[in-house]
Amino acid sequence: MSYVNIENHGPVRHVILNRPERLNAISGALMDDLHAALRLAQAEEAVQVIVLSGNGRAFCAGDDLKEFGDQTRDADAIVQHIDRIQQITRDLMFGAKPVIGAVHGYAVGGGFEWLLNCDMVVAADDLVCFFPEMDWGQFVTGGVTHLLPQVVGYQKAMELWLLGERQSAADLKALGIVNWVVPKQQMLAKALEVGAKVATKSTFSVGRLKRLLTTQLNPQLPAALELEKDATIAAFGRPEAAERVRKFGQK
């Protein structure tokens, strides 16, 4: 896997986004590698907990706008790209093993959505998150239309989406979106510490708890993923989106 690294810390599998030269921006190749890494971690009996982080200066800067032309070259390309995005959320949320985010730098758009897909989050004190999709003429994914209002309430979720204002680690902690805020140099150690504690619990009980929460108590989540997919496909196919992305790229 070229764009995802894997490290083992006993029963904790550390999955690392590895496109640092692009701030781990989301490309088709990165999503393919991440999908494979998450599927492998879920399948291996020795792995009990997954820690997800990003290499370099950021966790994930969202969709790679330099690939927008390829992503939107035709209807099939658009559908394939959005399917990949939503599949990562399914990999993170519908597996039995808990995922702990270790998030620093920027978590933007899809990167912010992946943060929200984690079961717990350790945030570095330099973390900055925001949703740029409304500025780009695109649409949010990752099931966040269902997940985010549950955490912060309807009005605050709309504020985060519509205004797209930057949120600091302290802001996210106050909103209940992240669990811990620590100095950047302590982030990974804290996430691995939490993962090791979770790994001492009953694998059966932890797995049942996660599956119950994500499938039985959140029955609308799969439907939200499909509705987001439809909206995002429609947004990607509009000339306005291409023009807004072009103008943003010029900045």
Average pLDDT taken over every residue of the chain = 93
Model pLDDT for residues 120-150, shown as the tens digit of each residue: 999 999 999 999 999 988 999 999 999 999 9
Give the pairing of strands 49-54 and 99-103: parallel
In 138-220, DSSP assigns E strands to: 167-168, 180-182
Percent share of the chain, pLDDT over 90 = 79
Q: Is 202 inside any structural domain?
A: no
In a domain, 240, yes or no: no
| 136 Cβ contact list (under 8 Å, min separation 6) | 241, 244, 245, 248
What pLDDT is stored for residue 246 in this prediction? 67
CATH number for 174:
3.90.226.10
Give residue 106's pLDDT.
Answer: 98
Is residue 246 in a domain? no
**Which pLDDT belongs to residue 217?**
62
Amino acid identity of residue 36, one-letter, is A
The pLDDT, as a whole number, for residue 249 is: 64
Residue 29 has pLDDT above 80, yes or no: yes
Q: How many domains does the chain have?
A: 1
71 within 8 A of 33, measured Cβ to Cβ: no
pLDDT of residue 248: 66
Give the separation between CA 141 and CA 150, rounded to whole angstroms.
16
Q: At what angle do helices 220-236 and 75-93 cross, to 10 degrees?
A: 150
Residue 198 lies in a domain: no
Position 192 in a domain: no
Say if CB 210 and CB 120 are below 8 A apart.
Answer: no
Residue 10 located in a structural domain: yes
Give the tens place of pLDDT for each residue, 161-215.
999 999 999 999 999 999 999 999 999 999 999 999 999 999 999 999 998 888 7
Instruction: Summarize pLDDT for 90-115 with one digit per residue, the tens.
Output: 999 999 999 999 999 999 999 999 99
Domain for residue 207, yes or no? no
> So what's the pLDDT on residue 26?
95
- Residue span of the structural domain in which 138 resides: 4-187
Quote the CA–CA distance of 103 and 116 in Å, as a whole number: 11
At residue 68, the 3 state secondary structure works out as helix
Which pTM does this prediction carry?
Answer: 0.94
Phi and psi at 60, nearest 5°, equal -165, 125
Flag whether 200 is in a domain.
Answer: no
- pLDDT higher than 90, residue 70: no
